[in-house]
Amino acid sequence: MKTTVHLQLMAAGEIMQYIPPDTIAAIQAKDQHPLFRAYVVGEEGDATPNIVGVGGRVLNWLRASISAMVQKLQFGTKIFHNHAATNEHSGRTIVGELVGKALEYIGGKMRAVAVAYIYPQYREIIADAVSIEAEVDIDPTGRSNEVDAVHLGAITGIAVGDRKYNKPAFASAGLISQLQAFEIQGDDKGGKMSDMTLETIRDFIGLRRLKPSELFSEDSITADPVVRGKIKAEFDMRERLQKEFDTLKSEGTTKVTGLETENKTLKQSITTGKAQSISQAIITERKMPEPKAKFVTLKMPEFKIEGDVFDDAAIKGQLDKFIDKQIDEFGKLETVFNPGKIADKSNEKGSADKGDPDLLVQQ
């Protein structure tokens, strides 16, 4: 029994994902536009391979056998043009090598996919049929004397050829896609590239992990409308944020200035109140006579706190100096209005004299 399945073609761009990036780079170094072909080389189900020395025989390929086939496909395995009478390699035409592989679940069956790099001089050959050349162990399953399970050994080669003259063991085995990589396609006048080519270029750039700066100049990158749009959007956003920041900063500065002024006024009010109270305590402490005490009290509105002073001791220190100055002024006035009278400084700080009881200021 043979299984016939209609296999959908693989998108050309998908081929690249099965080939290691380093392999692509090595091939491109010697072949600028390499040709890659993807083949289904095996599928689960029955197949009728040609067994050397035995002939055609129906073999049952289990899912595990197809999985093993993909594992046994080795990169670098030779791709031959047509089968030979035996699996010997000498004297045969090598048209390429295996560079990629995959295990695909398609149409309800597990299939082994092999990707071949076809050498430049053999690109024109018809090669839509494919078969693997391998060592196999046949294990009867008991289903039928004609159908046996297969255990795959080493894969020694892959043969491709024209399906008209080559019958593959698997009914659906054969070419499913091909891609001439990195080739710009268009009209003779340089028409636009096809979607496939653009996709291939993008795939290649991704596989090589190339940065835009490695491909284009700074002027070319910044001139791109998308990049220019991004830059403008970024600039506009930063400009907007800067304006918002400046507005908030200005509002904040105004509020801070207002609070500082308010705080200063409040402190002055508090210190002025304290100064009045402390001045009276100093007058009492110095035992000033009433005229001097009244004079100092009348002069208190002239007292201004110097610096950011708030504690009582610091205020008292400045008041002592202020009151000494007022007592000195009182003495000078006293000599004017009471000639011959010696200026009385007995109530200056540190003086033990109680002062002259004579009145200069009366109310």
Q: What is the pLDDT of residue 7?
A: 39
The DSSP 8-state label assigned to residue 216 in this structure reads: S
Please name the residues in contact with 334: beta carbons below 8 A apart, sequence gap of 6 or more: 341, 343, 344, 360
> Per-residue DSSP letters for 168-215?
-SSTT-EEEEEEETT-----TTTPPPPHHHHHHHHHHHHHHT--HHHH
**Cα separation of 107 and 105, whole Å?**
7
pLDDT for 192 equals 46
Q: What confidence score (pLDDT) does residue 101 get?
A: 93
State residue 315's pLDDT score.
Answer: 84
Instruction: Kindly tell me the burial class for residue 38, based on how many C-beta atoms sit within 10 Å of its own C-beta (0-12, 13-18, 19 or more).
Output: buried
Predicted pLDDT at 316: 86
Q: Give me the helix-helix angle, 225-286 and 312-337, nearest 10°.
A: 50
pLDDT, residue 210, reads 75
Instruction: Please state, rounded to an integer, the average pLDDT across all residues of the chain.
Output: 76
What is the crossing angle of helices 225-286 and 290-299, to 10°? 170
Q: What pLDDT score was predicted for residue 352?
A: 41
Q: How many residues does the chain have?
A: 363
Q: Which residues of the chain have pLDDT under 50?
A: 1-8, 52-55, 142-148, 184-196, 352-363
Dihedral, CA of residue 72, residue 76, residue 80 and residue 85, to nearest 10: -50
Provide the pLDDT for residue 164. 81
Q: How far apart are CA 122 and CA 95, in angstroms?
A: 6
